[in-house]
Amino acid sequence: MFLTRSEEYPLEQMIDVASGRTRADVVLKNAHVVNVFTNEVVQGDVAIHRGFIAGIGEYVGNEVYDLKGKYVAPSFIDGHVHVESSMVMPIQYARAVVPHGTGAVIADPHEIANVLGMEGIMYMSKSMRGGPLEFYIMLPSCVPSTDMETNGVTLDFLDIKPLMTEHYVLGLAEAMNYPGVIFKDPEILEKIKVSLKLGKRVDGHAPHISSTELNAYAAARITSEHECTTLEEAKEKLGVGMHIHIREGSTAKNLKDLVGLITPDTALSCSFVTDDRNTLDLITKGHMDSIIREAIGYGLDPVLAIKVASLSTARHYGIQYLGAVAPGYYADLVVLDSLEKVNVELVFKQGTIVAKDGKLVTDFGVQEQPRLRRSVNIHWLELDDFKVKPKGEQMNVIGVVPEQLITERLIEDVKVNDGVVVPDIDRDISKIVIVERHNATPPTGIGFVKGMGIKEGAMVSSIAHDSHNIVAVGTNDRDIIEAVIQIVRMQGGIAIVKDGKVLSSLPLPIAGLMSDRSVEEVSDKIIELKEAAKDLGTALTEPFMAMAFLSLPVIPKLKITDKGLVDVERFRFIDLFDIE
């Protein structure tokens, strides 16, 4: 339906339209145009021809929209996102974000890659071709993210190399095995070399590193970072040439702390990203438009905010002719009611209206559910599998940090009943288990977590970053096992269990990560799940995403995988009772 980036540019026609010798296909009359090059707003008509912008000035066209002083800006670009975290299929994701003014995303499909490998990557890339959302890919660099967990597939540099030459592939996604980079692990270095040899980008993921370690990481020509949580960290990484992805997702919210980094001098070195944002947030809060609004609310100049959400990202990734309202650029545009409210009234894709007043105007059909292999395959579970015998009076406990992916390593007193370590509800300490779901190995990832807030029952999910085993948090083993069994019944999903009964559940049959239902249905189900979780006692705004990141062993400080507790700062396993 839309032009591909490889189609020939109508050079002669564009010159004629731009000079006023020929009528444009479409003219947006009486507009205030956001100029992201000069950081100002100018008045004029926007002439569009054959899907491209011909010029800004006074023009006549075959089709005219009188904007009566409303604002025209480039459509927005999410600089780093895992579409799978929306929990809907890619076309449903587009239905959610395009009406909010998003014209393109830089997607890292490493969630589905950890379950299905290249089959999953190809499914994600093919699903979005020709649709209303421009879908670029960064190929996963760490599948699995580390050797401290069990995932479904291993991808080496020979697996990803053939795709690197595709025009929609912009480079290598977040190099989260940062110790592997710093200490020259051959596998990750080979992947970096493949990307650099083809002139493509390498994205970063290295929370808290600094000084000579940061220099070593940047010397590997890793040029972006989305894990900054403080302004000081962001400034140091910006200082070594890194492009700073300022993240505002469903769980990790860094905008408030990092927005001060953006100035007229640094704006081209910053992008806005969601990383992980669920469907409910996309529908109720918005996408990039909501981040722009929040940034403006924190005092950022509106034009700079739009620039960071468009041109800055396109420039960083070398995407030509996208991210600005200027001659020769693709006519991927948004019409806004004002620069302060950033309410998106119209969305143009290559000069064609694709969304109006918050709704897609074109039916892109129903996407067929992919024929992917079995999502969940677990070892037979017994109550004895989850019993923990005390080996001391204190133990390591994962400490939840609200609205962050980082956790604390806490030392807590052990509570023992009948010779077994049990959750301590009075101190908000729950049991957490990771059940491997790819190869049916016995569960060994058993620990305790403080800060989830549940007082009874159990929560469970087959979304557990990044290997996506089954993660369950509960107050008793029977409910935990029943919750895990419900995941098997659904072949992936999220569930809440209390007194042996399933209170609410959401099947995620596509790799155990995504639903085959509409964005509206999934959003309604997330609301129901959150209410059920609240009934268990949690006060977390995103309890399922918070739980899903407790198993990610590349973000400090203490995490848990199917193989055991991980001290991330020392990058090694530790015993539950090792408190040295």
DSSP result, 393-459: SEEEEEEE-TT-S-EEEEEEE--EETTEE--BGGGTEEEEEEE--SS-PPP-EEEEEES----SSEE
Side by side, the strands of the sheet bearing 572-574 are: 558-561, 564-567, 572-574
Q: How far apart are CA 551 and CA 553, in angstroms?
A: 6
Residue-range domain boundaries for the chain:
82-322, 383-574
Place of tokens 């002139």: 199
Q: What is the pLDDT of residues 326-362, one digit of tens each?
A: 999 999 999 999 999 999 999 999 999 999 999 999 7
- Matching residue, tokens 């989830």: 452
Q: Which residues contact 320 (CB under 8 A, 6 or more apart)?
A: 314
The model scores a pTM over 0.75: yes
Share of the chain above pLDDT 70, in %: 97
CB 168 within 8 A of CB 160: no
Q: What's the confidence (pLDDT) of residue 443?
A: 80
Query: Is it the case that residue 55 has pLDDT exceeding 90?
Result: yes
Both tokens assigned to 577: 């009772």
* pLDDT over threshold 70, residue 477: yes
Q: How many other CB atoms are found less than 10 A from the CB of residue 10?
A: 15
Neighbours of 424 (CB within 10 A): 17
| pLDDT for 473 beyond 80 | yes
Per-residue DSSP letters for 262-330?
A: --TTTGGGEEEE-BS--HHHHHHT-SHHHHHHHHHHTT--HHHHHHHTTHHHHHHTT-TT-SS-STTSB
Separation CA 342–CA 71 (nearest Å): 9
Over residues 407-432, mean pLDDT = 96
Residues 58-90: tens digit of each pLDDT: 999 999 999 999 999 999 999 999 999 999 999
507-521 in b/e burial notation, b at 16+ Cβ within 10 A?
bbbbbbbbbbbbbee
CA atoms of 321 and 564, how far apart (whole Å): 48
Identify the pLDDT of residue 362: 75
Average pLDDT over residues 275-302: 96
For residue 374, pLDDT beyond 80? no
Residues 41, 71 contacting (CB under 8 angstroms):
yes
- Tell me: pLDDT of 147 over 90: no
Residue 440 has pLDDT above 80, yes or no: yes
pLDDT of 372 higher than 80? no
Contact 94, 122 (CB under 8 A): no
CA end-to-end span of the chain: 62
The closest alpha carbon to 271, from 285, 288, 284, 283, belongs to: 288
Q: Tell me if the bond preceding 423 is cis, omega within 30° of 0.
A: no
Give yes or no for residue 369 having a pLDDT over 90: no
| pLDDT class of 554 with cuts at 50, 70, 90 | confident
**Residue 371 pLDDT more than 70?**
no
Rounded Cα–Cα distance for residues 180 and 333 (Å): 41
Residue found by looking up tokens 């973000």 in the block: 555
pLDDT tens-digit profile of 238-256? 999 999 999 999 988 999 9
Of the pLDDT bands very low, low, confident and very high (cuts 50, 70, 90), residue 367 is: low
Among 269-283, 354-368, 531-545, the minimum mean pLDDT is found in: 354-368
506 bridge partner residues: 494
Provide the pLDDT for residue 181.
94
In this prediction, residue 8 has a pLDDT band, given cuts at 50, 70 and 90, of: confident
Identify the DSSP state of 515. B
- Classify domain 82-322 at the CATH topology level: TIM Barrel (3.20.20)
| pLDDT averaged over every residue in the chain | 93
For residue 164, give the DSSP letter. Answer: G
pLDDT for position 34: 98
The predicted pLDDT at position 2 comes to 66
**Given this model, what pLDDT does residue 405 score?**
86
Is 373's pLDDT higher than 60? no
